[in-house]
Amino acid sequence: MKPQTVTALKAHVSIHVNQLEPSLEFYRKLFGIEPSKVRRGYAKFDVQNPPLNFTLNEGRSVGGGALSHLGIQVSSTEDVMAVRQSWMESGLLTRDEMQTDCCYATQDKTWVHDPDGNEWEVFVVLKDNLPEKETEGVACCPPDCCTPKPISFDAGQ
């Protein structure tokens, strides 16, 4: 079976920061642009050159590093599913999140772990700039939004 051609929109990098405000100031200067989205404990820079979806997540580190996760933003749910199928055919274990509200957007996504535990996601944004809402005192969406989760051997299959 010939794999479907997927059009990637941009790379995605998400990092943990100790305090959002000083990080916002730094990355405004670094990228030379204003963030496209700022919420309590969360910010997104939509960098055009090079194409990059770069997000900051305040105080959410679970493993001691600044890296939250990596990803590739695509243009459709069909592209998400095509990448998922390709990953599965390559023997990678996937974890899906469909119609999930995360990072103040509704998304369809699938995840894999690399051998060191770094998470990669392929995702499409279905609805963006959702309003900020209080969720048990957590800044970004559900408490488990964009946090590493184990992938079980039956996930996505």
- CB contact set of 110 (below 8 Å; sequence gap of 6+): 80, 81, 83, 84, 87, 94, 95, 96, 97, 121, 122, 123, 156
Residue 147 maps to a domain: no
Task: Check residue 59 and report its DSSP letter.
Answer: T
Say whether pLDDT at 32 is over 60: yes
Residue that wins the pLDDT comparison between 139 and 80: 80
Cα gap 27→33, rounded to integer Å? 8
Residue 140 maps to a domain: no
Residue 15 maps to a domain: yes
Say whether pLDDT at 154 is over 60: no
Structure tokens at 8: 């990637």
Residue 152 maps to a domain: no
Which stretches within 1-137 are classed as H helix?
20-31, 77-89
Q: Among 16, 45, 14, which Cα is nearest to 28's?
A: 45
Residue 102 maps to a domain: yes
Query: What is the total count of domains within the chain?
Result: 1
What is Dmax (Cα atoms) for the chain?
50
For the stretch 67-101, pLDDT in tens is 888 889 999 999 999 999 989 988 899 999 999 98
Q: In which band, very low, low, confident or very high, does the pLDDT at 49 lie, cut at 50, 70 and 90?
A: confident
Residue that wins the pLDDT comparison between 138 and 133: 133
Residue 87 maps to a domain: yes
Question: What is the pLDDT, as a whole number, of residue 63?
Answer: 62
Q: In which band, very low, low, confident or very high, does the pLDDT at 116 lie, cut at 50, 70 and 90?
A: low
Residue 151 maps to a domain: no
Number of H helices and E strands in the chain, helices first, is 2, 8
pTM as predicted: 0.67
Give CA separation, 60 vs 1, 56, 99, 104, 122, in Å: 41, 10, 23, 16, 21
CATH, residue 12: 3.10.180.10
Q: Which domain holds residue 75?
A: 8-127
Residue 135 maps to a domain: no
